[in-house]
Amino acid sequence: MKRKSQSVRIGAAMVIILGVIAFLAVSGVRANKSYYVTIQELNGMGSKAYTRNLRVAGNVLPGSIRHNGTNADFVLVENSNQLRVSYKGEEPPPDTFKDNAQALAVGNYGRDGVFYATQLQAKCASKYAPAPGAKPGTVAATGTAAAMAPAPAGQR
């Protein structure tokens, strides 16, 4: 009889432990889930926009960036739609966060019409564009890479 009650206790403990692990996994996924929406979709979401963790992308409006320490306020533009963003994160905005850069803000939309971002990603569209006047299909050599490149065949 003692053996049977010990098996029941072990089985009950395993069920409780598995239940707690499942609960933590489900609640963790819900907390980290964010929906990607365009600025136009965000404006059309109604009251759902205020309760969800969202990702919104657009281009940074030139002249709209206002830095305040590690925080930044700016405007994202998508076609004719604009969205005011207030970024308050643990890290300062990335180096590529500049005027006309493509940016992705993660956070929540406030009832005041401002998107409160806790994460910010940016990429500079011109970073990978060919140099002005360069022929298509060629790579412009600059800096130390140009110094290390072999000389053309006629100049060796």
Interval 10-23: pLDDT, tens: 888 889 998 888 88
Same domain, 110 and 84: yes
User: Does residue 155 lie within any of the structural domains?
Assistant: no
Residue 24 lies in a domain: yes
> How would residue 129 be classed by pLDDT, with cut points 50, 70 and 90?
low
* Dihedral sign (CA 88, 91, 96, 98): positive
| Residues 84 and 29 occupy one common structural domain | no
Do 122 and 60 fall into the same domain? yes
pTM: 0.59
Triad 124, 130, 131: Cα angle to 5°? 100
Q: Which residues pair with 108 in a beta bridge?
A: 116
Name the band, by pLDDT with cuts 50, 70 and 90, for residue 87.
very high
**CB-based burial label for 109 (10 Å; 0-12, 13-18, 19+):** buried
Highest mean predicted confidence (pLDDT) among 36-40, 112-116, 147-151: 112-116
**28/45 same-domain check:** no
Strands 81-87 and 114-123, how do they pair? parallel
Same domain, 124 and 61: yes
| 7 located within any domain | yes
Share of residues in the chain with pLDDT > 70 (%): 72
Residues in CB range of 119: below 8 A, 6 or more apart: 89, 105, 106, 107
Burial state string for 38-56 with b = 16 or more CB within 10 A and e = fewer than 16: ebeebeeeeeebeeeebeb
Verify that 95 and 27 share a domain, yes or no. no
Distance from CA of residue 3 to its chain's centroid? Answer: 55
- Name the residue range of residue 58's domain: 34-128
